[in-house]
C-alpha cells in the first residue's frame, strides 16, 4: 500500500467512530441519497422490480459494488433497487461499521457484505479477486474519488468489474475546490510553526493530507471515463451545495454525479458489426463465425 493510501486508511480508521453522526454529515448523506434516487432512470441500470408480475424479473440478480463504501451511505440509498451488494474499503474500521449496519438493518451477509481491500494496488488481494467481486450491474463511488491517488487508474480498475455492455459506473464527487485546500494547508503550516509545536493539527488539516485531487471538472471526468473504456458519459451537478461544518470552519462544495457504461469488449464490438454484416448479406459470405470467434466454411 502506498504511503498516501496508508494515510487515508489511518485517517478513516480514526474517523469511523464519528462518521455520519453529526447533523451536517446526515444532511450530506441524505442529499446524495435523494439525488441518486431521483436519477434512478437516468442512471440506466436494469433495477429490480420487486412487485413485478414476471417471476423471472423477481429472481433476477442486480449487483451493486459500493466502492470506498465507508459506513454504507450508497448502500442505504440504492439497496432497495438491487439484490446483491458488495462493499470494499481500505479502512478496516469503516468495513466493520458497514457490516454492523447492514446486519442490523436486516440484510444477510449474502445480500450485503463489505471487505477490506484496495482495487488500485499493484497486486490486488485474493479476497477481492474472486467471482463474488466481478460482473456488477453498477459500481458507485460516493465522495471517495478525490481521496484516490490515481483516479484514472481507479476508473479502469472499476470498469473491469462491470458487466460488459450494460454495467454502469457512477461517481459522486466535488467540483474543483483547490482554493479552499490551499487556504487550509497554509493554516496548517502556520499552526506548525506558531501554535502547535508538537505537530498535532486540527481535524480538517488532517484530512487535507488525505486529498490528492481538489475536485474534478466535467472535461476531466469525461476524458477519464473514455480512457477507461466507458461509453454514454452523463453528467449532472446538484443545485444545492454540500455544506460541511469542519473544525476549521464551514465549507461549501458543489456536488456532481458522473456516469458511464462499460463498452462492449473490442471482440464484442467486432462480433456485433460482423453479425449485422452477415445478416445484411443473407449468408452469402460463405463462412460463419463460431461462438469462439473462429471462422468456419
Ligand atoms: C469520504 S468517505 C466516503 C464513504 C461513503 N462512500 C459515503 O458516501 O459516506 C471516503 C472513503 O474512501 C475510503 N478510501 C480511500 N481510499 C481508498 C482506496 N484506495 N480504496 C478503497 N477505499 C478507499 C476511505 O477509507 C473512506 O471510507
**What are the sequence ranges of the domains in the chain?**
3-263, 270-297
Mutate which of 35, 87, 144, 203 to test ligand 1's pocket (most atoms within 8 Å of Cβ)?
A: 144
Protein residues with CB under 6 Å of any ligand 1 atom: 5, 8, 12, 29, 68-70, 73-74, 88-91, 94, 118, 120, 142-144, 147-148
Q: pLDDT digit string (tens) for 162-204?
A: 999 999 999 999 999 877 766 666 665 655 443 332 222 334 4
The domain defined by 3-263 carries CATH number 3.30.1380.10: no
Distance 86 CA to ligand 1 centre (A): 14
Contact 146, 173 (CB under 8 A): yes
Tell me which residue has cell 451545495. 241
Q: pLDDT digit string (tens) for 47-98?
A: 987 666 666 666 789 999 999 999 999 999 999 999 999 999 999 999 999 9
Who contacts 56 (Cβ-Cβ below 8 Å, separation ≥6)? none
Distance 82 CA to ligand 1 centre (A): 21
Supply the Cα-derived Rg of the chain in whole angstroms.
22
Contact 175, 215 (CB under 8 A): yes
Distance 130 CA to ligand 1 centre (A): 21
Instruction: Give the position, in ligand 1's atom list, of the atom nearest the Cα of 154.
Output: 19
Instruction: Give the position, in ligand 1's atom list, of the atom nearest the Cα of 94.
Output: 27
Distance 90 CA to ligand 1 centre (A): 7
Report d(CA 163, CA 214) in Å as an integer.
Answer: 30
According to DSSP, residue 193 is labeled I
Distance 244 CA to ligand 1 centre (A): 17
Phi, psi of 257 (to 5 degrees): -125, 120
How distant, in Å, are the alpha carbons of 24, 63, 85, 132, 133 from that of 108?
30, 15, 10, 15, 17
Distance 144 CA to ligand 1 centre (A): 5
Phi, psi of 46 (to 5 degrees): -80, 80
Mutate which of 69, 101, 147 to test ligand 1's pocket (most atoms within 8 Å of Cβ)?
A: 147
Q: pLDDT digit string (tens) for 33-61?
A: 999 999 999 999 999 876 666 666 667 89
Q: pLDDT digit string (tens) for 124-148?
A: 999 999 999 999 999 999 999 999 9
Report d(CA 92, CA 9) in Å as an integer.
Answer: 8
Amino acid at each position: 500500500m502506498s504511503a498516501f493510501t496508508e494515510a487515508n486508511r489511518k485517517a478513516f480508521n480514526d474517523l469511523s467512530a464519528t462518521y455520519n453522526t453529526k447533523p451536517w454529515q446526515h444532511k450530506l448523506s441524505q442529499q446524495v441519497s435523494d439525488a441518486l434516487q431521483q436519477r434512478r432512470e437516468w442512471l440506466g441500470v436494469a433495477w429490480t422490480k420487486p412487485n413485478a408480475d414476471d417471476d423471472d424479473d423477481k429472481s433476477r440478480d442486480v449487483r451493486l459494488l459500493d466502492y470506498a463504501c465507508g459506513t454504507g451511505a450508497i448502500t442505504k440509498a440504492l439497496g432497495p433497487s438491487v439484490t446483491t451488494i458488495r462493499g470494499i474499503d481500505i479502512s478496516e474500521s469503516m468495513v466493520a461499521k458497514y457490516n454492523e449496519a447492514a446486519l442490523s438493518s436486516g440484510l444477510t451477509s449474502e445480500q450485503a457484505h463489505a471487505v477490506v481491500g484496495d482495487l488500485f494496488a499493484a497486486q490486488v488481494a485474493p479476497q477481492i479477486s474472486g467471482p463474488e467481486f466481478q460482473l456488477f450491474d453498477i459500481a458507485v463511488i460516493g465522495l471517495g474519488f478525490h481521496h484516490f491517488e490515481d483516479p484514472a487508474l481507479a476508473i479502469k480498475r472499476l470498469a473491469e468489474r462491470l458487466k460488459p455492455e450494460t454495467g454502469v459506473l457512477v461517481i459522486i464527487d466535488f467540483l474543483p475546490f483547490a482554493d479552499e485546500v490551499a487556504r487550509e494547508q497554509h493554516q496548517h503550516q502556520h499552526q506548525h510553526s506558531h501554535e502547535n509545536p508538537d505537530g498535532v493539527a486540527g481535524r480538517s488539516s488532517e484530512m487535507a493530507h488525505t486529498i490528492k485531487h481538489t475536485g474534478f471538472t466535467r472535461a476531466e471526468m469525461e476524458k477519464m471515463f473514455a480512457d477507461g473504456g466507458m461509453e454514454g458519459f452523463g453528467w449532472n451537478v446538484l443545485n444545492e451545495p454540500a455544506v460541511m461544518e469542519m473544525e476549521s470552519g464551514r465549507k461549501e462544495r458543489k456536488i456532481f454525479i458522473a456516469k458511464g457504461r462499460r463498452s462492449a469488449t473490442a471482440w464484442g464490438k467486432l462480433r456485433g458489426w460482423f453479425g449485422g454484416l452477415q445478416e445484411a448479406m443473407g449468408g452469402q459470405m460463405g463462412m460463419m463465425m463460431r461462438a469462439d470467434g473462429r471462422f468456419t466454411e
